[in-house]
Each structure stands twice: as structure tokens, then as C-alpha cells.
């Protein structure tokens, strides 16, 4: 069975500090991977997607970056957090474009 694991579950970080969020998918080779984000009071929006190792496409510019160092790993990061980065981050994978599976998410508060 495929599993998706996100870490950490929650973070409180200072403005200007670095951030790294991770996502690992087990049991599925060559998945399409995605990062979504929801600001407080906002809607979930796609930030990045990746269809293969080493290739990441940016969808929304938020001073964040993403990388896919391994087939089963997707990392979201920034060197300097902004207050506006607070929110809920979700990783997802698809088997095909009609079947998305989401992780349990990371809640980030930037202070």
C-alpha cells in the first residue's frame, strides 16, 4: 500500500529564519508530486509540481523553492521566512490526474 508522510507536523519559526518541509511517498515508483498551501482564511493553492526526479515546476511565486532529490522525496524550503508564509502546507501525489492522495499536512506559524 502507498503511504505519504509529511514532516514536521507543525512548526513555529521566526521571520527571516530558514525552513525545510519534507514529504516522502512509499510504495509507488515515479509518482507525480505536488505542494499545496493554504493561508489562514484562504483556499488551498498549488505551489509546485514535479513529474520526475530533479525537475520541479513552480506554479505560484511565494519566495519558496522546492526540490526533488529522490524519486520518493519532495522538499519545500526557503532561506528567509516571511510572515505571509504562515499557513498549512500539504504534499500530494497522483497515480493519474484524477486520483490525488494528500499527506496530513504541516502547520506553519511565522512570528
Partner 1 sequence: GDSVTQTEGPVTVSESESLIINCTYSATSIAYPNLFWYVRYPGEGLQLLLKVITAGQKGSSRGFEATYNKETTSFHLQKASVQESDSAVYYCALGDITGNTGKLIFGLGTTLQVQP
Among 11-19, 21-29, 77-85, 89-97, which window interacts with partner 1 (CB under 8 A)?
89-97
Count Cβ atoms within 10 A of the Cβ of residue 13 and give its class: 0-12 exposed, 13-18 middle, 19 or more buried: middle
> Can residue 81 be called a binding residue for partner 1 (CB under 8 A)?
no
* CA dist., res. 3 & res. 109, Å (int): 26
Peptide bond just before 8 cis, omega within 30 deg: yes
50 or 81, CB closer to partner 1? 50
Which residues contact partner 1 (rule: CB under 8 A)? Answer: 32, 34, 36, 42-46, 49, 51, 57, 59, 90, 92, 94, 96-105
Amino acid at each position: 500500500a502507498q503511504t505519504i508522510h509529511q514532516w514536521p507536523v507543525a512548526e513555529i519559526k521566526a521571520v527571516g529564519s530558514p525552513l525545510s518541509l519534507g514529504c516522502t511517498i512509499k510504495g509507488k515508483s515515479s509518482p507525480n508530486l505536488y505542494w499545496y498551501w493554504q493561508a489562514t482564511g484562504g483556499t488551498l493553492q498549488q505551489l509546485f509540481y514535479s513529474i520526475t526526479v530533479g525537475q520541479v515546476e513552480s506554479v505560484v511565486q511565494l519566495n519558496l523553492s522546492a526540490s526533488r532529490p529522490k524519486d520518493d522525496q519532495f522538499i519545500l524550503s526557503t532561506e528567509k521566512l516571511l510572515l505571509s508564509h504562515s499557513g498549512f502546507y500539504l504534499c500530494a501525489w497522483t497515480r493519474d490526474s484524477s486520483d490525488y492522495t494528500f499527506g496530513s499536512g504541516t502547520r506553519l506559524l511565522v512570528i
